[in-house]
Amino acid sequence: MTNTSRVSHESRISGKTSASDETAASDETPASDAPRRGLGVGSLTALSAGGVIGLGVMSMPGIGIGIMGTGLWIAALIGALLSAIALIPQLTISTHADYPGGHYQQLRDLVDPRVGGIAAYIACFLVFDLSAYALSAAQLVVTADWLARGIAAILITVFVALHALGPRIAAVAQIVLCAALAGAFGLYAAYVVPHVNVAHLRADTVIGTPTVVAFACLYMTFMMNGTAMTANYAAVAREPRRTIPRAMLIALGVVAVAYVALCVIDAGLLPIDRVANRDLGDVAASFMPRWALDAFVVGGSAFALLTTLNAAIGWMLYQLRAAGRDGWLPAEFGASSRAGGVSSSLAVVVGFVAVMPVLVGVSTKTVSSSVTILVLLVQAALAIGAVRLALRSPAGLPRLVGCVAAAIVDALLVIWLLYTMSPLLIVGNAVLLIIAVIAALLRWRRL
Q: How far is 271 from 410, CA to CA, in rounded Å?
A: 34
Tally the residues of the chain: 447
Q: How many domains would you assign to the chain?
A: 1
In a domain, 23, yes or no: no
In a domain, 15, yes or no: no
Q: What is the pLDDT of residues 336-367, one digit of tens each?
A: 887 778 999 999 999 999 999 999 887 777 77
Whether 314 contacts 48, CB under 8 Å: no
Tell me which amino acid residue 387 is: V
The pLDDT value given to residue 361: 80
**Where would I find the beta strands (DSSP E) of 318-394?**
none
In a domain, 273, yes or no: yes
In a domain, 10, yes or no: no
Q: Mind listing the pLDDT tens digit of every residue in the chain (447 residues)?
A: 443 333 344 444 444 444 334 433 443 444 334 445 789 999 999 999 999 998 899 999 999 999 999 999 999 999 999 999 999 999 999 999 999 999 999 999 999 999 999 999 999 999 999 999 999 999 998 889 999 999 999 999 999 999 999 999 999 999 999 999 999 999 999 999 999 999 999 999 999 899 999 999 999 999 999 999 999 999 999 999 999 999 999 999 999 999 999 999 999 999 999 999 999 999 999 999 999 999 999 999 999 999 999 999 999 999 999 999 999 999 999 998 877 789 999 999 999 999 999 998 877 777 778 899 999 999 999 999 999 998 887 767 888 999 999 999 999 999 999 999 999 999 999 999 999 999 999 999 988
In a domain, 26, yes or no: no
CATH number of the domain that 71 lies in?
1.20.1740.10
- Report residue 305: phi and psi, to 5°: -70, -40
In a domain, 1, yes or no: no
Q: What is the pLDDT of residues 23-39, one digit of tens each?
A: 334 434 443 344 457 89
In a domain, 346, yes or no: yes
End-to-end CA, the chain: 17
In a domain, 135, yes or no: yes
Q: How far is 336 from 345, CA to CA, in rounded Å?
A: 10
Q: Which domain holds residue 233?
A: 37-444
Q: How far is 242 from 251, CA to CA, in rounded Å?
A: 14
DSSP character string of 162-223:
HHHH-HHHHHHHHHHHHHHHHHHHHHHHHHHGGG--HHHHHTTS--S-HHHHHHHHHHHHHH
Which residues are CB-contacts of 197 (< 8 A; sequence separation ≥ 6)?
268, 269
For residue 336, the SS3 value is strand
The pLDDT value given to residue 362: 76
The pLDDT value given to residue 392: 86
- The burial class, CB within 10 Å (0-12 / 13-18 / 19+), for 199 is exposed
CA-to-CA dists, residue 85 to 96, 221, 244, angstroms: 18, 10, 17
The pLDDT value given to residue 363: 77
- pTM for this structure? 0.90
Q: How far is 214 from 191, CA to CA, in rounded Å?
A: 32
